[in-house]
A and B are shown apart, each in its own frame.
Chain A
Amino acid sequence: GAVVSQHPSRVICKSGTSVKIECRSLDFQATTMFWYRQFPKKSLMLMATSNEGSKATYEQGVEKDKFLINHASLTLSTLTVTSAHPEDSSFYICSLHENNEKLFFGSGTQLSVL
């Protein structure tokens, strides 16, 4: 099955800085990737759908200027949290579909904003 690599696994940053999270598909070309956010012991909330070569589609309530998504190649999507604030602290997870069937998740990035 597809293998998804997400980096970094953990990041601590100061308030006001920007943080970039990478999601790579190691053995599969993904035209679509998904970005989720998860608070402690809570469910995953879909933030946006990342489309290769075009603009991402954001879910209602997600600020597109705050969470910049770039999907420049079939194996890489990035999520940049701009001007991070403590309330942005969360667990961010990417995923992709293999042949529109199984959904594979990255190992997640724990963001802590001080």
Chain B
Amino acid sequence: TQLLEQSPQFLSIQEGENLTVYCNSSSVFSSLQWYRQEPGEGPVLLVTVVTGGEVKKLKRLTFQFGDARKDSSLHITAAQPGDTGLYLCAVSGANSKLTFGKGITLSVRP
């Protein structure tokens, strides 16, 4: 059973469109992280959300942590080709070990 379910698995959109992707679980977490990974590179941390209901913005990216701290969403406004990549959510467990979702492959066409 996957701890973190990410959806949709694949998304291909036109430049300028908005999109929302999700990271869901039946478990409660003290915090949740979002990463973006480009082909042939390691993941890069985008944000950490900690408080239930918290909303964090990073330029055109808006992250929200669910009130019950079981899920999170990532909204991208006016997507650009540079947003293309694999978006991973992750939670930290014992001994700082991270568990990742399967990721969302986003492709933004020019």
Contact = CB atoms under 8 A, between A and B. Distances in A.
Interface of A: 4, 6, 9, 32, 34, 41-46, 49, 91, 93, 95, 97, 100, 102-108, 110
A93 B42 contact: yes
A108 B38 CA distance: 11
Interface of B: 33, 40-45, 86, 88, 95-103, 105
Contact of B45 (A34, A49, A103, A110): A103
Contacts of A97: 96
Given A6-B42, A34-B97, A43-B102, 18 more contacts: A4-B42, A32-B96, A41-B103, A43-B88, A43-B101, A43-B103, A44-B88, A45-B100, A46-B98, A49-B95, A93-B43, A100-B96, A102-B45, A103-B45, A105-B43, A107-B41, A107-B42, A108-B42
Contacts of B42: 4, 6, 93, 95, 105-108
A20 B103 CA distance: 28
Given A32-B96, A97-B96, A41 B105 contact: yes
B44 A42 contact: no
A77 B8 CA distance: 35
8 contacts: A34-B97, A44-B43, A44-B88, A44-B100, A49-B97, A93-B43, A106-B42, A108-B40
Contacts of B102: 42-43
A28 to B, nearest CB: 14
A45 B103 CA distance: 12
Contacts of A110: 40
Contact of B97 (A42, A46, A93, A107): A46
Nearest to B86: A41
A98 to B, nearest CB: 11
Contacts of B33: 103
B103 A42 contact: yes
B42 to A, nearest CB: 3
